[in-house]
């Protein structure tokens, strides 16, 4: 039996895996398999993340994939939305920020629309 199988058996004895959410599973997995230095590195990367030359889609994917390492922001819808919006490129950020959205999914959709409109001009 390898390490992951042992870990999974431990989880199945500790949690009701028939009702465990993906978010909880992911948090438990990250706690087990990401060592503290790597967690710190990813937390810093998340805090410093900017859209830069990424498309909104690529930026959002990166944002989501490493947001788990800064749970104070990731678990707070308003803070997460604010971080996402404030890290967008200026033109997109300006349009999205003026909408004063507090829901992450709505902010992402708005950013995608603004990006698409700017590309079509």
Q: What average pLDDT does the chain have?
A: 90
What local confidence, expressed as pLDDT, does residue 114 receive?
Answer: 96
Same domain for 64 and 104, yes or no, is: yes
Task: Report the predicted TM-score, pTM, of the whole model to 2 decimal places.
Answer: 0.74
- Tens digits of residue pLDDT in 102-117: 999 999 999 999 999 9
Same domain for 69 and 20, yes or no, is: no
Same domain for 100 and 43, yes or no, is: yes
Same domain for 47 and 92, yes or no, is: yes
What local confidence, expressed as pLDDT, does residue 26 receive?
Answer: 81
Same domain for 54 and 18, yes or no, is: no
Q: Is residue 107 within 8 Å of residue 101, measured between CB atoms?
A: yes
Same domain for 24 and 40, yes or no, is: no
DSSP 45-62: HHHH---TTS-HHHHHHH
Tokens of 81: 């939305």
Count up the domains in the chain and report the number: 2
The backbone torsions φ and ψ at residue 78, rounded to the nearest 5 degrees and listed phi first, read -65, -45
Domain range for residue 13? 1-33
């Amino acid at each position: 039996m390898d390490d992951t199988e042992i870990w999974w058996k431990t989880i199945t004895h500790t949690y009701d895996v028939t009702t465990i959410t993906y978010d909880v599973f992911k948090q438990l997995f990250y706690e087990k398999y990401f060592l503290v230095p790597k967690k710190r590195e990813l937390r810093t990367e998340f805090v410093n993340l900017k859209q830069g030359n990424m498309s909104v889609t690529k930026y959002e994917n990166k944002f989501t994939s490493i947001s788990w390492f800064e749970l104070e922001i990731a678990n707070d819808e308003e803070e997460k939305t604010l971080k996402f919006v404030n890290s967008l490129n200026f033109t997109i950020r300006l349009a999205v920020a003026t909408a004063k959205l507090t829901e992450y999914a709505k902010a992402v959709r708005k950013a995608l629309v603004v990006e698409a409109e700017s590309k079509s001009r």
